[in-house]
Amino acid sequence: MASAARPELSAYVGLGANLGQPEATLRWALQALGQVPGVRLAKASSLHRSSPVDATGPDFINAVAELATTLSAPALLQVLQALENQAGRERPYRNAPRTLDLDLLRYGDAHIDSPSLTVPHPRMMQRAFVLVPLAEIAPGLVTAQALAAVAGQGVERLAP
């Protein structure tokens, strides 16, 4: 007897980079995500520029993607980490500049708190570089109060 297929659900991923060619890397990552079996790129925000938060180095280029996926949250996290590695991500110290950072922000309505994964992402409500592009593609997930709380962080939408 075959097992039933996992239902498709929406997952939101934050993308960021500030080393190499960040804009090209984010475009590559969005394309690569859409080619993963069990993952469909449903929406992607515009690219945004922001200053590093709790980090050093050049400005970041950020975006948020909505994925429709049948993968489990841990399997999706493995995909994200594999793409980071393909892009040359190194982790010499916490919040180091990076060629690619992919954060699982939300996984359906799930609340996960494990040693390897916390969903919803624990710091996403404190970061304009997440909330501004997330509000662009999923306005129902971000309140005006949340946007107002991070308004001073300065996020600039880039031309397409």
103, 106, 113, 157: which is the annotated catalytic residue? Answer: 103
Catalytic residue chosen out of the listed positions 27, 49, 54, 98: 98
Question: Of the residues 49, 101, 106, 127, which is catalytic?
Answer: 101
The whole-angstrom separation of Cα 149 and Cα 128 is 9
**101 is annotated as an active-site residue:** yes
C-alpha distance from residue 66 to each of 4, 13, 90, 136 (Å): 24, 7, 25, 11
Annotated catalytic residue 89: yes
Are 41 and 76 in contact by the 8 Å Cβ rule? The answer is: no
Q: Other CB atoms closer than 10 Å to residue 97's CB: what's the count?
A: 17
Q: Catalytic residue, from 49, 89, 106, 127: name it.
A: 89
103 included as an active-site residue: yes
Give me the active site residues, please: 89, 98, 101, 103
